[in-house]
Amino acid sequence: MRSGLDEVAAALLGVGSAPRRPDRDAATYWSEPPPGGSDDPVARIVAIRRLGSASRRPVGAVAQLVAVAAALRTGVDRVEDATLGFQGRVLTTGDFLATWAVELAVHQLDLARDLAVPSPPARALALARQTVEALLGDRLPGDDDAGAVLLATGRRAATADELRTLGAGAERLPLL
């Protein structure tokens, strides 16, 4: 069973192999589910459960993620500007890496709600905010990037003031 980071590594190995021009950027990647993907929440839960049970103990899953992250750190430094195919889409390497920075920032926010883990780096939160604001087509209320990302992704409810500020845009939430 592959983790998301394993998918990143595999896609980066195929850099430059996409025969077409990019059809998505770092924001529009999120605008619709990937072709052939499933919106079935049960399928997602089953996939997460399988990934989690691939290791006998949580430390095994963490060790695998640490190893993949280390390999990615090395590989990302060597990636040239190119295009790559991923989940039926074509992105530039920069946009591809930006989508993963956003996804990892959001998941780190998820973990930080229940565990003693640090908040994502400010640059990652700013990128995540820029992404959801591009999808919304408007600025999110407030100056706190983490709060804006949590709101935009449906991880926290909007306050009455935020609903007024967002107007009709509030109906489009969650964006990711």
113-142 per-position pLDDT tens digit: 887 888 889 999 999 999 999 999 999 999
Question: Predicted confidence band at 23 (pLDDT cuts at 50, 70, 90)?
Answer: very high
Q: Which residue has the tokens 């107007």?
A: 167
Question: Does some domain include residue 45?
Answer: yes
- CB under 8 Å to 108, separation ≥6 — which residues? 117, 118, 119, 120, 124
Question: Does some domain include residue 1?
Answer: yes
> 73 is in which domain, residue-wise?
1-91
CB 30 within 8 A of CB 24: no
Question: Does some domain include residue 149?
Answer: no
Question: Does some domain include residue 32?
Answer: yes
CB 176 within 8 A of CB 30: yes
pTM above 0.75, yes or no: yes
Question: Does some domain include residue 27?
Answer: yes
Q: Report residue 79 as tokens.
A: 């990636």
Question: Does some domain include residue 100?
Answer: no
Question: Does some domain include residue 166?
Answer: no
Question: Does some domain include residue 143?
Answer: no
Provide the number of structural domains found in the chain.
1
Angstrom distances, CA of residue 150 to CA of 129, 135, 156, 160: 9, 15, 6, 16
